[in-house]
Amino acid sequence: MNYFDNANYAVLVVGAGRGIGRAAALELAAQGIAVACFDSDAETAQKAAEEIKAGGGKAVGGRLDVTQQGTIGPAVEKTAAEFGRIDALVNCAGITGRTNIPAHEVDLEDFDFVYHVNLRGALLLSQAVLPHMLKRRYGRILHVSSIAGKEGNAGMTAYSATKAGLIGMVKSMAKDYVEQGITINALAPAVIRTPMVDALPQATVDYMTAKIPMRRCGELQEAAHMIAWIVSPACSFTTGFTFDLSGGRATY
């Protein structure tokens, strides 16, 4: 299903080297638009871009670490220079930090690092792409949050708190640009089968999956299809919203 009626459309995907970000980048390219693939791991980002180009698509790749502000501006400008525009941002950068830890034992250094990736990085990315979108009075920004940001996961204080903060930031930012043709939304996945989930302790995965009425993990392609629609012109009357991707766990 193609949501893009104009091939002259460019999306910057952060976290494109793996997991949901990579699946989203490949799906967007399959729909015939230009994709900028960036990741803190430059090699995986380049591989995603090369795979897109090998299939006849338009892509550029490189390094972008949301914890290092100096890498964000050059990546955004590289995208704009390559494609002449930035229509959308898909931010899939995220880490869980240490898990299975009660709140009174949370290490402040770990909490701060999770915050820098999951929340501060999202603000910096938004600030970098918004000027390009404001010039054209059009844009789509999607930040991938988590079901943990809605409900909280036991033993995941840093992750839950920063993903909840991301949802709040999206709600606020969306109102700032609602009259300029720019939509800003979030996506709240439950457990999606990704390398990050594979790295979690099995007890944590079991705890999260048990809460999903469908009794399964979400698949990467399910996330990719939803992301493509949210950042397309077809999603034109929704902003400040957190889309559910949780197999029925969250219905609000």
Task: Report helix, strand or coil for 199.
Answer: coil
**14 backbone dihedrals φ, ψ, rounded to 5°:** -105, 130
Torsion of CA 119, 231, 194, 250, to 10 degrees: 80
Cβ neighbours of residue 240 under 8 Å, at least 6 residues apart? 170, 171, 173, 174, 175, 178, 184, 185
Which residues partner with 216 through β-bridges? none
Q: How far is CA 93 from the centre of its chain?
A: 6
Which residues partner with 2 through β-bridges? none
C-beta of residue 13 within 8 angstroms of C-beta of residue 27: no
Rounded Cα–Cα distance for residues 24 and 147 (Å): 19
Instruction: Enter the tokens of residue 96.
Output: 């869980």
Torsion of CA 15, 18, 20, 26, to 10 degrees: 90
Rounded Cα–Cα distance for residues 249 and 252 (Å): 9
DSSP secondary structure of 76-94: HHHHHHHHS---EEEE---
Mind telling me the catalytic residues? 159
